[in-house]
Amino acid sequence: MTEPAMAMAAAASLGLAAALPGVDGNALIGAFAGATLFVVSSKELPIWRRLAYLGVSIALGYLAAPEVMRWLPLQASGVAAFLGAALGVTVTLGLLERGRTFDLDAWLRSRGGPHA
């Protein structure tokens, strides 16, 4: 399946899910838009990884929308979900990358912690 066909299938699925009772359609569409922005800007990643990040980012954005609205003066759940989706995975991946290169021993020594 080519990328445009996958995008159309995802948009159709999103439309169906937004019509379900109890689903905040604005937040779902905002999360999809934020996730799409993240995926489109990650051209160096293989397609399977971008699709996985798309799903994770949509879920994260949708679930983070109420918390983002609590912290920021936003009235629209779609905008909050967009921010949660676009930034959530980006920040998490940055922290994971930083964790790979983090030297706990050197950090503890710089803080006056236990010396070896």
- What single letter denotes the amino acid at residue 31? A
pLDDT, tens digit, 9 for 90 and up, residues 63-76: 999 999 999 999 99
Burial 47-66 (b: 16+ CB within 10 A, else e): eeebeebbebbbbbbbebbe
Contact 86/41 with Cβ under 8 angstroms?
Answer: no
**Axis crossing angle, helix 25-40 with helix 77-101, rounded to the nearest 10:** 40
Q: Which two tokens stand for residue 5?
A: 């066909």
Can you list the positions of beta strands (E) in the chain?
Answer: none
DSSP H or E run through 77: helix 77-101
pTM over 0.75? The answer is: no
State CA 72 to chain mean position distance.
17
Beta carbons of 85 and 58 less than 8 angstroms apart: yes
Supply the pLDDT for residue 51. Answer: 85
pLDDT tens sequence across 63-112:
999 999 999 999 999 999 999 998 888 888 888 888 788 777 777 777 77
Average predicted confidence (pLDDT) for the chain: 81
